[in-house]
């Protein structure tokens, strides 16, 4: 089964049912080496494709989902698709054309990375017609504006969900990958590709005055340029699946808890550029490192927890209550209450 990022896409209420079905189908219909991203943010403009599938033995497929079923499609005109929406006739953008635009951006990013010069990495585009089979698509005139051999249809999706996807989806994908041989990439190349598809997973590196050693959560320096460090798939999926409310992430030292925190902050910054995001930690040296890593995210503030509490006290015109008492709970409660007032 393919690895989904985020893992919770199949149950998210803010995602259309048709899109969730596509995620389920590709999870079942492709093998465990494959990774399926929902809306990865690699386009500098901030636009996101519906899905990007990376199959290490084949290449990359950028997919746009067209969810309207047979009864809602009226036909095609000028390369656009006419549909009935809330009783009105409207035009929808050609999903394959949109997928091709995102695929071209990804191709350019790969082409400009000299670490990949020795490798052929196919990037192809596909339209997922989740509400139409091929015959229905032809009846509605899709073949006038969309090459149907670049499409995945509802019968492929249904077959995968019913457990026959390894045959149905793979056949469809082979047609889409037409002319590209099966190949295998070294682990380091796979990491580079994953870092291009989801840039925020690349682990950055700094050396601070407080600590001359480089922490394992950071990328190597120029003398180690052949080494690639990105978050692993589990860490990335967890960071994107946290949702709202309180979450506790447990793990031994070096397991990637701070990585998940940093990635989450970057993700929220991109999604909510007008919101302020606070990242706190217990040590001053780590706070300095986090500020450096997140320096390009103007709405993110990384702060040492004690410094944050002192700032709250000053801003509330309150005198620091000192450190009397055993556990400090009364002090924290008093400061918090004053801050809220």
Report DSSP state, residue 295: T
259 and 189 within one domain: no
Q: Which of 179, 194, 209 is the last residue before a domain boundary? A: 194
CA–CA separation, 2 and 29 (whole Å) = 8
CA–CA separation, 188 and 176 (whole Å) = 26
- What would the pLDDT profile of 89-140 be if each residue is shown by its tens digit? 999 989 999 999 999 999 999 999 998 988 889 999 999 999 999 999 999 9
Supply 204's token pair: 């950055």
Q: What long-range pairs does 288-297 form, CB within 8 A, spacing at least 24? A: 288/208, 288/210, 289/206, 289/208, 289/215, 289/218, 290/258, 290/262, 292/206, 292/208, 293/204, 293/206, 293/218, 293/262, 294/262, 294/265, 294/266, 294/269, 297/265, 297/266, 297/269
- Identify the sign of the CA torsion 317, 323, 325, 327: positive
168 and 114 within one domain: yes
Range of the domain at 149: 3-194
271 and 179 within one domain: no
54 and 113 within one domain: yes
In this model, does residue 229 exceed pLDDT 70? Answer: no
**Total tally of structural domains belonging to the chain:** 2
- What would the pLDDT profile of 304-327 be if each residue is shown by its tens digit? 888 888 777 777 666 666 665 555
Nearest partner of 214 among 159, 292, 152, judged by Cα? 292
Q: Which of 148, 166, 194 is the last residue before a domain boundary? A: 194
Average pLDDT of the residues of the chain: 81
186 and 44 within one domain: yes
CA–CA separation, 94 and 77 (whole Å) = 10
């Amino acid at each position: 089964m393919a690895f989904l990022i985020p893992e919770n896409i199949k149950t998210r209420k803010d995602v259309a049912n048709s899109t969730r079905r596509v995620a389920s189908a590709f999870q079942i219909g492709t093998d465990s080496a494959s990774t399926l991203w929902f809306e990865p943010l690699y386009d500098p403009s901030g636009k996101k494709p519906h899905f990007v599938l990376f199959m290490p033995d084949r290449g990359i497929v950028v997919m746009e989902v067209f969810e309207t079923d047979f009864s809602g499609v009226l036909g095609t005109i000028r390369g656009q698709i006419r549909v009935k929406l809330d009783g009105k006739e409207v035009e929808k953008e050609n999903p394959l054309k949109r997928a091709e635009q995102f695929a071209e951006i990804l191709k350019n990013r790969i082409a400009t990375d000299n670490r990949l010069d020795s490798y052929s990495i196919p990037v192809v585009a596909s339209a997922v017609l989740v509400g139409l089979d091929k015959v229905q698509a032809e009846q509605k005139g899709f073949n006038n504006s969309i090459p149907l051999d670049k499409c995945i249809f509802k019968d492929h999706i249904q077959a995968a969900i019913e457990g026959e996807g390894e045959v149905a989806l793979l056949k469809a994908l082979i047609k889409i990958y037409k002319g590209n041989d099966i190949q295998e990439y070294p682990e380091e190349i796979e990491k580079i590709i994953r870092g291009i598809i989801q840039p925020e997973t690349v682990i950055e590196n700094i050396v601070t005055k407080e600590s001359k050693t480089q922490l394992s959560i950071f990328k190597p320096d120029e003398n180690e340029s052949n080494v690639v460090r990105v978050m692993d798939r589990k860490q990335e999926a967890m960071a994107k699946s946290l949702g709202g409310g309180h979450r506790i992430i447990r793990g031994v030292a070096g397991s990637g808890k701070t990585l998940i925190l940093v990635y989450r902050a970057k993700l929220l910054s991109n999604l909510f550029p007008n919101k302020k995001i606070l990242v706190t930690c217990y040590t001053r040296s780590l706070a300095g490192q986090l500020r450096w890593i997140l320096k390009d995210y103007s709405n993110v503030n990384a702060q040492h927890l004690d410094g944050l509490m002192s700032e709250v006290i000053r801003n509330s015109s309150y005198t620091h209550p000192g450190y009397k008492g055993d556990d400090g709970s009364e002090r924290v409660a008093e400061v918090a209450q004053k801050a809220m007032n």
